[in-house]
Structure formats: C-alpha cells, structure tokens
A and B are shown apart, each in its own frame.
Chain A
Amino acid sequence: MNSSRLPAAEFEVEEVGRAVHSDDVDGQLEPDAGMLQILSADGTMAGGLTAEIAGSTVDFSPYLSASDPAHLRSLYRDMFMIRRFDQESTALQRQGQLALWVPLTGQEAAQIGSGRALEPQDYAFPTYREHGVALTRGVELPDILRLFRGVTNGGWDPRERNFHLYTLVLAAQSLHAVGYAMGMQRDQLADPSLPPAASIAYFGDGASSEGDIHESMVFAASFNAPVVFFCQNNQWAISVPSSVQTRVPLAQRAEGYGFPGIRVDGNDVVAVEAVTRWALEHARSGQGPVLIEAYTYRMSAHTTADDPTKYRLSRDEQEWQPRDPLARLEVYLRSAGMADDTFFEELGAEARAMATDLRQAVLSMTAPELADRFAAVYAEPHPLVQEELRFFQEYEAGFADEVKHA
C-alpha cells in the first residue's frame, strides 16, 4: 500500500460512488450500492476483497482472516457471546433489574469485526450500544450493566481498556475521538519510538445528522488526525428511517471532507474486520481519517422502552432475518469443515454459564452512597460541594438518631 499521504483531491471512492435517486427518500436506501462483502448472506465466502479507493485498487487480502479457522471461530464466539449477553440483559430489564437496556442484536458483526481490528494501543469511543466492541476490548461484561443498573454513569476504567465510557448525547464522542487522535499524533511526533496508534469513533445513522459529526470530520481532515469514523447504519434512529437522515449512502459524505469513505456489509464480520484493519492502518501511518459505513440492521428495538411495531413492518424485519451475521458464519464454518456440532454445543454451554454469572453479578450490584458522589464532581477541593456534603451528612445522621431513639 502506498504509505505517502494522499492529497485530498485524489480521493475517490468509486465503490460507494452511486447517488441515490430522490424517489428513495421515503423508503430505505438502496442497500447494496457499492457495498463491500466477502461472506454473503447464504454463507458463501468470496475469493478476495478489493475496492477502488483514491483512484487505485486496494486489495484487502493482507487484512483478511477468511482462511484462518481458529480466528473465524473466535469471531463467531465473540458474536455468539455478545448476542447471549444481549438476550440476558433484555431479560434482566424485563424483570425490573435494569432501568433500561439497549439491544445490539443484528449488529454483532459490525461491532465484533471492527473491535477485533483494533490494536491494544488504539482507543475506541463508543455510543451506548457498543457492547460487542466492549467485549473485544476486554471490558468485563457485568461492568457494562452497571450504567443500566443505575449504580454509575461509567462502569469501567477507560484507561485500562482503551475503551471510553458510553456517551449518551449523540455524536459528542466523535469530537473526543478526534481530539484524542490529535493527542496520539502529537505523542508520536514527540516520541517516534511509540507504536503508531489511532482512535475510532462509533456513531449511528441517526447521529450522522448531528453537527458534532460534521465538525469532527472537519477537524479530522484539517489536522489529518489518525481517526476512523465507524458508522453503524442500522436503518433506524428509534422510529425514523435512515432515509430521513441522508439522501446518499452515508459513506459518500467522506468525499466531501476529502478522505476515503467505504460502505461495508455490516453483517459480514470478515469484511468488516478487514476494512477496519485497513482503515486503522491508513490512519496510523499518517494518511488521515477514514469513514466506514457498516450497513446493518437493528433487529430489535431501539431500547427496551421502544415499540418498533408502531413504525416498521414485521415484514421488513423478516427481510433482514436471512442476512443474520451469526447464521451466515455458522453456515460457512460448518460447510468449510472449520467447526462441528461439538464446537457450537460447547459455545452454547459457555454462553449459558456467562449468562448465569452475569445475572448473579447484576443482582449483587448495590447502590452507591449519595455521600460518595460529592467527591467525584471536582478533582480539587470545592467549598460549596464540601459545605453541601456536610449538610447532607448531618441531615442523614438526624434520621439515624430518630431510629435509634424510637
């Protein structure tokens, strides 16, 4: 791959270069417009993966894991585990143990594929649905539920996992990812012995309309920041279809900012991983940002508070069922002789054990003390916070006396 920085004017992404006719704005966008795919919905693995990017043909072979059975099994394992995690979390919410749950079912390939493409020194900035990416970064699965259990707004130490906290204000984290990448860029200049690193900003088709996405792409382009924008186009922003957010495939927007944009089949974990690996290397090697649009489908509700029957047809949901990211990899693993019944049975048992542990961990999560929350507002002593903490403690202590003397 040409490692020199490409002038912005040369960027052309022909694979995603087809405009969508304006008649399509009432329905879903043409799904397969230049979409990269290697593992098709019926479980067939193509021989290779190439795309026209910046006027030259990119061969993704060096980034493909298609011929590595152990790796493919581990991708399947991650997708299977996170889907089971999603089911258990939904159940926990239905049983009143979580305030809310944000399902990811349908988006496993987009998340596991992109997450597994990251190197340890890379840094990911998630939205609130990136449970699969969290798994690939080594976040303990019960820790993800601490936010939804209402015991913290975080849940893990982002610095240990190079995985930032969930951000609930749409697109805000994309600017943090760009700033973080600008910091990586400066670190690299100050100490060239550091391993090159990139950040990755996750967002969705709904958030793509937010101004912060625009500003983050402008900053990333202006400063050639090593950042990958990873958009999971799951077709729905709660109840509003992606056609309301955009008239063109989202990946095409990159061209306007002067960096490559690639639309990949977000339900093809092999292609997602390869494309993200390429994009991260592109960013790490000083060639600037890349936008990836992972074309996928939110097979479940936006959250457990949502009711998709109000706004979409079950027929549409059924149309996406055959494109399930797990099913197609299972077909391939079986047909290629890379996995047998034993593998899938053992995985099922492992997932059941994980779900049992998860449930226990959630039920044992206790509420924090409000008194402890005062200490986390400021890093340095703050007289108002200290005064209010004193008041609160005395107030609470008053009730303790009442109980004692009763």
Chain B
Amino acid sequence: MATMTIAKAINEGLRASLASDPKTLLMGEDIGELGGVYRVTDGLKRDFGALRVVDSPLAESGIIGTAIGLALRGYRPICEIQFDGFVFPGFNQITTQLAKMRTRSDGMLSAPVVIRIPYGGGIGSVEHHSESPEALFAHTAGLRIITPSNPQDAYWMIQQAVTCEDPVIVFEPKRRYWLKGEVDTTAPAGDPFSAHVLRRGTDATVVAYGPLVPVALAAAAAAEEDGRSIEVIDLRSISPIDFDTVTESVTRTGRLIVAHEAPTFGGIGGEIAARISERAFLSLESPVIRVGGFHMPYPVARVEEQYLPDIDRILEALDRAFAY
C-alpha cells in the first residue's frame, strides 16, 4: 500500500502500462517535456523517450485521428485531451471513426485507443476548462467511458482501459487530482465497468461519479445525523452503466438520487432514472431525483459554486424524496 494523489496514481498506472507493453504510447499536447498541464505524465518522457511519450502538434483531431491509425497498425495509443472543452475539435474522429471502426469492419478491426480527458469544474478557471461532456460520448455506441473517483481506481482503471480491446474514454476528475488515498499496486483489479457501493444504507441511494463522489459521501454522512441511512454508489463506468448494482440497491432503499456536474437535461441521471423506473418501479417510494448542472453553458468562475451540486443540493433532493 502506498498513499498517493489521483494524479500520481494515473501517472503510476501509465508508467506500468508503458513498461508492460512496448506497443503503448502516450500522445497529447504538452505531455512530454512539461509533463502535462496537470503534471499527470510527469517524468514519463524522460523515462520512456520521445517515441513513447509524444508531444503532439496542437490539434485534437490530429491526435485522435493519428491514434486511430496507430491502433490499426497494432499500437495502443493513450491520448490526452488537455481540457474537457477542447475535445470538440476531435469529436468527429471520436464519434464517426473511432466508435464505428469495429462495426464498419463487421468486427474485423479493433481500435483500442484510450482518450484521457480531465473534466469537471470547481477549479475557478475560464471558459471551456470546467465542462462535463460525458453524456455526448455515452450516447455514441462503440465507446466505453469510465471515470475514477479515487487513487486506487485511478491507478487500475487507466491500465484496464489500455488493455481493453475497445476504445475507452477516461474522464479524470480534475478538481480531485490532488485527492490522496491508499493504492494497492498488487491487488488484482476488479471489473472497471462495474459500480461500487461505497457506503451501505437502507433509506435512500445516492449515485454519483467522478468529482461528486466525495460530495455524495459527505452528504450521506450529514444525513446520518438526521437519522437517515443513505447508500452511496460510485458509478465508475458511464458506458456501460452497471444498472444491476443500482437496481439491487434501489430495491432495498426505495429512493434514488443521481448526482453529476453535467446538466441534468439529456444527461446520465435521466438515463438512470428511466432504467430504474423500468426495472424497479414498484420498489420506488418516490420519483428518481436528479441533481446536476443547469441548462446553461458552464457559468463563469465567480458563480460556479452556486452552479455545482454540493452537499446541500443533494440533501435538499433527499428531503424531497423523503417528503414525497
């Protein structure tokens, strides 16, 4: 066991991938000499060289498109998109090419490209640096999407993304990069596409992922003071979603809150609410309630605290669920 931050855990995970498979390589803007704007790839170019850790031209479509070509040649490129809001120049390559390569080839071709995207707000930054675009990608068949919320998952999930035969987008909760936790580098990794129950409870279930997992846990702790027993699930995988774990939980608790930073309209919370209404309608004591961003472009930094779901927003949703 070692204590490390999420950023360091991803760094160590990438290091392990680079060391174990000579076909892996990192590509992205400023990831080599600088070690990435968040230093997630710090030291990797020094240790693995410029052919394995590629400082790319400043072109997101170019990064994803050439990564697809490398993957077709048998390589395993791990791309970094510098910020969530900058993925869109690469959106065409991700959705029309990467996601469809396997279907287009009737299952003959694989494109095992990994795309790392620091995402989410709460860092007091300027436009395009705080977004949560995961639903846009979740809607695209052919992609897998995971998001670790702690160092242990970060260390293992990035490596599992690399060995997966399908394209995987790893959304990294950038405001939690410095969150510390224990990492067991020897423990066999579980299924990266499964949800984890982080806290057992009997009265309601809160599903969260990525940066909101610590918020959900804190809300559950606060609710306990009011005598409410809240179960907290870290979704971990956004595509596929582990509906079995969520359904099993809701059949016990009868209430479900889904929290994410992304706007609720057309979001992952809506998808979960629909599925749970199909699977566990008679177990529900109240409607599924979503807690998330509002239907507006991500707001300016000075008001983002009001925009972002926090402990109180989750507690308020729980109040509504219990009052129903």
A residues sitting closer than 8 Å to B (CB atoms) are 152-154, 157-159, 164-165, 167, 169, 172, 174-184, 186-187, 189-190, 199, 211-212, 215-216, 218-219, 222-223, 373, 375-380, 382-385
CA A152 to CA B93, docked complex, whole Å: 20
Whether the Cβ atoms of A182 and B69 lie closer than 8 Å is yes
From residue B164, how far is it (CB to closest CB) to chain A in Å? 6
Query: How many Å from the CB of B226 to the closest CB on chain A?
Result: 36
By beta carbon, the residue of chain A nearest B54 is A223
Q: Is B74 an interface residue (CB 8 A)?
A: yes
Q: CB distance A211 to B61 under 8 Å?
A: yes
- What residues of A have a CB within 8 angstroms of the CB of B57 in the complex? 215, 218-219, 222
B68 to chain A, nearest CB (A): 5
**Chain B residue at smallest Cβ distance from A185:** B51
Q: Which residue of the partner chain, among A184, A215, A378, contacts B65 with CB atoms under 8 Å?
A: A215
* Smallest beta-carbon distance A152→chain B, Å: 6
Chain B 77-95 per-residue mask, 1 if CB under 8 angstroms from chain A, else 0: 1000000000001001100
A154 proximity list for chain B (CB < 8 A):
104-106, 108
Residues in B37-65 with C-beta less than 8 Å from chain A? 51, 54, 56-57, 59, 61-62, 64-65
CA distance in complex: A159, B22 (Å): 21
Closest 9 CB pairs of A and B: A179-B69, A175-B65, A183-B73, A179-B66, A379-B165, A215-B62, A180-B69, A176-B69, A376-B107
Q: Given contacts A175-B61, A215-B65, A219-B66, is CB(A376)–CB(B106) below 8 Å? A: yes
| Chain B residue nearest to A151 in the complex (CB) | B106
State in angstroms the CA–CA spacing of A212 and B65 once bound together.
Answer: 8
24 A-B pairs (CB sep. < 8 Å) = A158-B105, A159-B108, A159-B109, A164-B72, A175-B61, A175-B69, A176-B72, A177-B69, A179-B68, A180-B70, A182-B70, A183-B75, A212-B62, A212-B93, A215-B57, A216-B65, A219-B62, A222-B57, A379-B102, A379-B112, A380-B165, A382-B240, A383-B244, A384-B240
A358 and B18 alpha carbons, distance in the complex (Å): 48
Query: A169-B97, A215-B59, A219-B56 known; A182 and B110 CB under 8 Å?
Result: no
Please measure, in the bound complex, the distance between the C-alpha atom of A65 and the C-alpha atom of B56, giving whole angstroms: 40
B116 at the interface (CB under 8 A from A): no
Q: Is B141 an interface residue (CB 8 A)?
A: yes
Residues on the A chain within 8 Å of B74, using CB: 183
List 19 other contacts, CB 8 Å, given A175-B62, A186-B51, A383-B240: A167-B97, A174-B65, A175-B61, A175-B65, A177-B69, A179-B65, A179-B70, A183-B74, A186-B75, A216-B65, A219-B56, A219-B66, A376-B105, A378-B166, A379-B112, A379-B166, A380-B164, A383-B243, A383-B244
Q: Are A377 and B109 in contact (CB under 8 A)?
A: no
B72 contact set on A, CB distance < 8 A = 158, 164, 176, 179-180, 183
Q: Quick one: which of B66, B77, B112, B243 has the most chain A CB within 10 A?
A: B66
Interface SS of chain A: helix, strand, loop or mixed?
helix
The answer to the question of B186 belonging to the interface, with a C-beta cut-off of 8 Å to chain A, is no
Flag if A153 contacts B65 (CB, 8 Å). Answer: no
B203-222: CB near A (< 8 Å → 1, else 0) gives 00000000000000000000
B residues adjacent to A (C-beta < 8 A)? 22, 51, 54, 56-57, 59, 61-62, 64-75, 77, 89, 92-93, 96-97, 100, 102-110, 112, 141-142, 144, 164-166, 193, 239-244
Point out the residues of chain B lying under 8 angstroms from A157, CB to CB.
Answer: 105, 108
Quick check: B240 and A215 within 8 Å, CB to CB?
no
Per the bound structure, the CA–CA distance linking A167 and B64 in Å amounts to 16
Which residues does chain B contribute within 8 Å of A222, judged by CB atoms? 57
Instruction: Tell whether, in the assembled complex, residue B102 and residue A378 are in contact, meaning their CB atoms are under 8 Å apart.
Output: yes
**Contacting residues, chain A, for B96 (C-beta < 8 A):** 169, 172
Contact A175 B104, CB 8 Å, known A186-B75, A380-B165? no
Cα of A167 to Cα of B144 in the assembled complex, Å: 22
Contacts of B165 in A (CB 8 A): 379-380
Specify which of A172, A181, A187 is in contact with B92 (CB 8 Å cutoff). Answer: A172
> Shortest Cβ distance from B50 into chain A, in angstroms?
10
Q: How far is the CA of A375 from the CA of B107 in the complex (A)?
A: 8
A211 vs B58: C-alpha distance when bound (angstroms): 13
The closest CB in chain B to the CB of A166 belongs to B104
Q: Are B59 and A219 in touch, CB under 8 angstroms?
A: yes
CA distance A373 to B112 in the complex (A): 20
Query: What CA separation (Å) do A176 and B141 show in the bound complex?
Result: 20
Least Cβ distance of A347 to chain B in Å?
A: 34
The answer on a CB contact under 8 Å between A158 and B66 is no
Cβ contact within 8 Å between A172 and B97: yes
Asked whether A158 lies within 8 Å of B61 as measured between CB atoms, the reply is: no
- Give every chain A residue within 8 A of B97 (Cβ-Cβ): 167, 169, 172, 176
Q: Which of A180, A223, A385 has the most CB of B within 10 A?
A: A180
With a cutoff of 8 Å between Cβ atoms, the chain B residues found around residue A376 in the complex are 102-103, 105-107
List of B residues within 8 angstroms of A184 by Cβ: 73
Are A178 and B65 neighbours in the complex by a CB distance under 8 Å?
Answer: yes
Residues of B within 8 A of A164 (CB): 72
Residues on the B chain within 8 Å of A378, using CB: 102, 142, 144, 166
* C-alpha spacing A380/B166, complex, angstroms: 7
- Min distance, Cβ B132 to any Cβ of chain A, angstroms: 21
**A377 and B75 form a contact (CB under 8 A):** no
Docked Cα-Cα span, A216 to B89, in Å, equals 14
| A residues near B59, Cβ cutoff 8 Å | 215, 218-219
What CA separation (Å) do A182 and B68 show in the bound complex? 11
Chain B residue numbers with a CB within 8 Å of A219 are: 56-57, 59, 62, 66
Query: Known contacts being A215-B65, A380-B164, is A183 close to B70, with CB within 8 Å?
Result: yes
**How far is A218 from B105 in the complex, measured between Cα atoms in Å?**
28
Whether the pair A183, B106 counts as a contact (CB closer than 8 A) is no
